[in-house]
Copies of this chain bind each other. A is one copy, B any other.
Amino acid sequence: MKKKVAIVSLSGGLDSCVTTSIANQEFDLALFHANYKQRTEKRELKSFHEIGDYYGIEKRLIIDFPHFSKIGGSSLTDRKITVKKADLSNKFVPDSYVPFRNANILSACISWGEVIGASAIFIGAVCEDSSGYPDCRPEFFTAFEKMANLGTRPETNIKIITPVINFSKKEIVLKGKELDAPLHLTWSCYQNEVEACGICDSCALRLRGFQLAGIEDPINYKTKPNYI
């Protein structure tokens, strides 16, 4: 029987790579990538393609979202705001929050999904042990799925699947290992494109995950603080 088609929103980071490895077990995949003039745009795109090649997935759509840098409001896209050193206390919405980014990405994925007849969109959002982004919460994705099915053709019925949303970073690392996901090809740093900085929110969360899992992170870091 022909497998159903799913789109994965693949940034090229750890979470979306492991999400791809999970989705790949059950679906024929199509890969979506967003360029939004984030600081590490080129490096993320490289990881996107390398992970796509690893899984032999041909269907890929790379979309530019120029408005995030035009509107600013995030340290990832606005060069006037500095990428801060990590604060893992999880009390506030951090500066790296890109306003409503996931809704923009998912909307484009639904548009594409409606044309290619996809049954699901996978997105590697993480809620627990994560960075306090409002558009990474389970209730947001539930509401999005409902909205999407009201705003598309009657025959379109696309699920939003967030397989790692309640995972800790440690669990994501372990799941990636279990499924032989190409973690060495991923990129998570918000700041640098050659050597990961090791100190931004994203590096800190990732490194803590690997450290708690007792596994060596296979990518290169400028500095590797101990986060546990």
- Tell me the A residues contacting B by CB distance below 8 Å: 61, 63-64, 66-68, 70-73, 93, 97-104, 107-108, 110-112, 114-116, 134-135, 137, 139-140, 143-144, 146-148, 150-154
State whether B67 touches A111 (Cβ < 8 A).
yes
Q: Contacts A67-B108, A99-B111, A114-B99 given; indicate if A151 touches B140 (C-beta within 8 A).
A: yes
State whether A71 touches B143 (Cβ < 8 A).
no
State whether B143 touches A146 (Cβ < 8 A).
yes
Given A73-B114, A144-B151, 6 additional A-B pairs, CB 8 A: A67-B112, A99-B110, A100-B114, A103-B103, A103-B151, A104-B111
Interface centre among A100, A110, A114, A154 (most CB of B within 10 A): A100
State whether B151 touches A134 (Cβ < 8 A).
yes
State whether A70 touches B61 (Cβ < 8 A).
yes
Query: CA A186 – CA B104 in complex, angstroms?
Result: 28
Main secondary structure of the interface of A (DSSP, over half): helix
Interface centre among A67, A114, A148 (most CB of B within 10 A): A67
Interchain Cβ contacts under 8 Å between A and B, 13 examples: A63-B66, A67-B108, A67-B111, A67-B112, A73-B114, A99-B112, A99-B152, A100-B151, A100-B152, A102-B151, A134-B151, A140-B147, A140-B151
Q: Name the B residues within 8 Å of A104 (CB-CB).
A: 104, 107-108, 111
Smallest CB separation, A164 vs chain B (Å): 18
Q: Name the B residues within 8 Å of A139 (CB-CB).
A: 150
Q: Name the B residues within 8 Å of A108 (CB-CB).
A: 67, 104
Smallest CB separation, A117 vs chain B (Å): 11
Q: Name the B residues within 8 Å of A134 (CB-CB).
A: 150-154
A115 is contacted by which of B71, B93, B137, B143 (Cβ under 8 Å)? B71
Closest B residue by C-beta to A155: B93
Q: Name the B residues within 8 Å of A152 (CB-CB).
A: 99-100, 134-135
